Amino acid sequence: MNTVRRRLFSSTATAAKKRRRTKKTLFNTLWTFETEQLANSRVPNAGSIFCTEKPGYLGPIPPEEQHDTREVAFVGRSNVGKSTLVGALFQQPDMVRSSKTPGRTRDTLFFALGDRTHLPFPMVLVDLPGYGYARASNKEQEKWESKMETYLSQRSTEQLKRVFVLLDARRDGMTDLDVGMTEFLNDRNVNFQLVLTKCDAVHSKEVERVAVKVMNQAWSFQNCVRELIAVSAKNQRGIRELREASLRSAGYTGSRSLVAS
């Protein structure tokens, strides 16, 4: 009888400990570089604009090809969750092939925001190859990075409105590769914004600590948007804010609205 009680108590204690371990306070989704700075205003119907129609896959358009549609691009280290996050923005989890194996995105992929001829505001979202994948050969990495560099170097600021640089919240701030990417963008006067991904994987206090460290690291970059977004594709936190930031960066203010889904 005592053995049964010990087992029951042990099982109950283990379950309670597991609940305590998995219970995490919701993290803040917006962090501003200056305490007195106010967050940007809401963009009406951002979810409808992204999700009413399935995005049109335009394929791996050659980086040198030009068109007149405004673009926002997403870039980050391999395994930062970029493809999963892009799918979450459109509520299309299988839109971009993602995997536990890093380095799946090996081309510059273009997605039209729905039907560009009918939406009130056309925009193209660009999924750039990941960088820093250690298992790829040097030659293969150079090929991916060359495509990315060609795209970022040849797009004018009138067309490429913002680059979202994704950073893993589980890491201790920006890595050397992340710093190199932000320096590259800043030196070329490309407007960029920092995004912490996988924030559900750490406690909210850790999200805060990493967010503050990242903002301190990026403080001197004049072309860095002074607002950091923390997201989780898994539980959809921060997705609305990221959609709205994408639309604002391309010039959409909500003056021409869609019917909400």
Neighbouring-strand partners of residue 32: 227
pLDDT for 180-238, tens place per residue?
999 999 999 999 999 999 999 999 999 999 999 999 999 999 999 999 999 999 999 99
pLDDT for 97-152, tens place per residue?
543 444 444 578 888 886 555 555 678 899 988 887 655 556 666 666 777 788 88
What separation, in Å, do the N-terminal and C-terminal C-alpha atoms of the chain show?
Answer: 59
Tokens describing residue 17: 């400990």
The residue ranges of every structural domain in the chain are 27-249
Tell me which CATH code domain 27-249 carries: 3.40.50.300
pLDDT band with cut points at 50, 70 and 90 for residue 22: very low
How far apart, in whole angstroms, are the C-alpha atoms of residue 177 and residue 77? 8
Tokens describing residue 94: 């299988």
How far apart, in whole angstroms, are the C-alpha atoms of residue 135 and residue 103? 9
Q: Would you call 45 exposed, middle or buried from its count of C-beta atoms within 10 A (0-12, 13-18, 19+)?
A: buried
How far apart, in whole angstroms, are the C-alpha atoms of residue 216 and residue 210? 10
Contact 77, 131 (CB under 8 A): yes
Q: What is the rounded average pLDDT of the residues 85-93? A: 91
How far apart, in whole angstroms, are the C-alpha atoms of residue 201 and residue 182? 24
